[in-house]
Amino acid sequence: MSEAYERERQNNASLSALSAKVSALRSVTVDIYDNARDQHVIDSNLETFSSMTSSLQGSARRLGVMARQGDRVAILKVAGILTGVGLAFWIVGGFLLRLLFGSSPSG
């Protein structure tokens, strides 16, 4: 009888050790998956920024060609758009600053 109990104890110890190894393996697998997913997100962001950079470079190149050609109406349109965007940022920025910090224009 005592031999059966000893074998049962050894089996339980082996099962516990195996369970610990499986848990460690599962943890490593989850870490690898998380790392791969994070790397995919980083790669996706890099591709997005690269695409945006090339798009901005193309727009700047076309704007430079237009300015060199002297298309007066197009230059005035671009200047108006840039002025409007700057004014919009100034107004929205002022509103947000007042909203965040609660300062009034009167002091």
Task: Determine contact, residues 103/97, Cβ cutoff 8 Å.
Answer: yes
Residues 23-59 as b/e (b if ≥16 CB within 10 A, e otherwise) read: eeeeeeeeeeeeeeeeeeeeeeeeeeeeeeeeeeeee
- pLDDT the model gives residue 26: 93
Task: Determine contact, residues 66/75, Cβ cutoff 8 Å.
Answer: yes
Task: Determine contact, residues 71/63, Cβ cutoff 8 Å.
Answer: no
Q: Output the six-digit token pair for 98.
A: 């007042």
Is the pTM of the predicted complex or chain greater than 0.75?
Answer: no
Per-residue pLDDT tens for 24-81?
999 999 998 888 888 888 888 888 889 989 998 998 888 788 778 877 887 888 889 8
